[in-house]
Structures are given as C-alpha cells and as structure tokens.
Amino acid sequence: MFHIVWAVVLTLAFSAPSHAHPPAAEPFVLEVEALIDGREQLIIRGNQLQWHHFDFAAVGRFFGGNAPTLVVMGDDLGQVEWFPTWSEPVPDEIRFEDTSSVLEQLNPPLPMDGRPLRLQKLFGRGDVRIIQQPTEANAYTLIVEFDDNPYPGPRYYGLRLTNAPDRDGDGVADERDHCPNSDLRPGVAIGERVCPSNLPNRVPADGCTFNDRIALCAKRPRNSGEFVMCVDDWGKKWKYASLITSQERSDLNRCAAH
C-alpha cells in the first residue's frame, strides 16, 4: 500500500446479521492515513467520513500544518488525499472541540448490515479502540477513537478494522461467542420438536441462542422436572433482560413441560 508519513490505517470488512445463516460477504476495504496529536474520533457512516476533534491540535493541523488524510478504498479503487476543513482556516491548530467537513466519497460505502468489526492496531503509541459498532440503532455508524493525549507532539498511527470471525453467522464475533456453533432455527425448539408458539429463537449478547441454552438444559438433568426448572431459569433471565415477554415465557414453560 502507498504509505505517507501522516498515518492512520483502517481496513473494513463485515460479518453477518443475527438469527440467520448469511451468505458469505465480499470484504469491504477502507484504508485511512492521518496525523494524530490529541484525542480524535473517526466517524464512518455510509459513504461518509468525518473527524470529531477533542484535544490539542486537530488531525493534520499540528504546528500550523495541513497534512491530508489519505483515504484508500478497496484494493484497486485508488486513493483520495482529503484535506478536511474546520471552523478556522490554516494555520490555526484548532485547539478546541470541533468537527471537520465530511468526505462523501467512500465507494463501496460502509455496509448497513450490523456486522461486528475487529480492530487491530498496527502502529502508534496511544490507545486506539472502537467505541461504537455499527447497528440499526445508531444508523450503522462506526466510531473509532484515538487517544494521543498522554504524549507530547503528534505521532503516526496505523490500524486495521476487519470483520470479526463469526463461524455460525449469528452476528456475535467468535471471540465473544460462548456458543460458536449455534442452533439458528427461527423458532424455539425442544430437541427436534418446534414449540407450537411463535416464540422466536433469539440471540443474546453472549452468542448462545435460546435453542442453545435449551439443548444444554436437556443434557444435564436427571429427570424431566430438572429440565423444566432449567428452562424456566433461563426464561426468567431472558424476561429480566427484556428478550421475551411474560406471555412468551409462559409459552416457553408450557412447551418444555410437554
């Protein structure tokens, strides 16, 4: 990859939505390079990029300079040297909170499928982390934060964002998935018997579907009563987490008891 001395590198690819076996996705690749001095957030949504500046000199503006943000889209889609504008022109360093102009040239755009991203820091001395994954609730907006505040002067940062491996396609990355081979049938089932209610087989944040937990309950009990109690315990937890309604919990218990 072409490399210049102001640096942040991002590579984006995506995994699949929950509750289904998704088709394999083509990787979405985005690389960005910029000079970081203080604390910055890079906001990515659709075909847009924007910087949100917090502390010290803004991106590329250290010591009155105007270093561009280099944006590389895909492997062969070329690159753009983006000179974001701020509320004050060069040589002002923008040593106050501000937001940059918006670059609207990402092609292909950030997918709107809620797939989780994984960050790999390639170089740079400060912390770099994802503070917001793209979801439907935030209009599929990704936010990456860079924190160079503890150190004097600017430094070059490199990082890569990729689709977090998700073997079962439940939308929960393998590194966070307690059940990496989930039962993703659309409805709740007791063994091979699908419950007659319309209770959906949801995927909680730990990656274990309702059917995964029910299957584990079936492996442990010495009798049917213990199985029903185990399912009821999970029903209580799911109800408390607002994953099911009171009626759905009752339907689940009836299904487990028959």
Q: State the Cα torsion 43-48-53-58 to the nearest 10°.
A: 130
**110 contacts 28 by C-beta, under 8 angstroms:** yes
Backbone angles phi, psi at 82, to 5 degrees: -100, 120
| DSSP-assigned letter for residue 62 | G
Give the highest mean pLDDT range of 97-106, 124-133, 165-174, 203-212: 97-106
Question: For residue 72, what are its two tokens?
Answer: 């590389």
Specify whether the CB–CB gap between 199 and 248 falls below 8 A.
yes
**Quick count: other Cβ atoms within 10 Å of Cβ 106?**
21
pLDDT of residue 249: 92
The arithmetic mean of pLDDT across residues 103-117, rounded, is: 83
Residue 87 pLDDT > 90, yes or no?
yes
- Report pLDDT for 208: 94
Highest mean pLDDT among 16-25, 39-48, 105-114, 171-180: 39-48
- Tell me how far apart the alpha carbons of residues 69 and 215 are, in angstroms, rounded to a whole number: 51
Q: How many Cα atoms within 13 Å fall on the side-chain side of residue 8?
A: 31
pLDDT value for 174:
82
Report the alpha-carbon angle 205-206-210, nearest 5. 90
- For the stretch 235-248, pLDDT in tens is 999 999 888 899 99
- Is pLDDT above 50 for 2? no
Give the least confident one: 22-26, 76-80, 173-177. Answer: 22-26
Taking only the tens place, the pLDDT of each residue in 144-200 is: 999 999 999 998 887 777 766 778 878 777 878 899 999 999 899 988 888 876 788
* Whether the bond into 108 is cis, omega within 30 of 0: yes
* Model confidence at 17: pLDDT above 50: no
User: pLDDT tens-digit profile of 209-230?
Assistant: 999 999 999 987 778 889 999 9
Q: Is the pLDDT of residue 19 over 50?
A: no
Range 28-57 average pLDDT: 92
Please tell me the predicted confidence (pLDDT) of residue 72.
81
Which tokens in the block code for residue 162?
Answer: 């990729």
What ranges make up the beta strands (E) of 137-222?
A: 141-147, 155-156, 158-163, 189-190, 193-194
* Helices 246-257 and 224-240, packing angle to 10 deg: 170
Q: Has residue 138 got a pLDDT over 90?
A: yes
Residue of 48, 93, 90 lying closest to 71 (CA atoms): 48
Q: Which of 74, 131, 61, 133 is nearest to 105 (CA)?
A: 74
Write down the domain spans for the chain. Answer: 30-163, 178-257
Other residues' Cβ atoms within 10 Å of the Cβ of residue 5: 8
Query: What pTM was computed for the model?
Result: 0.60
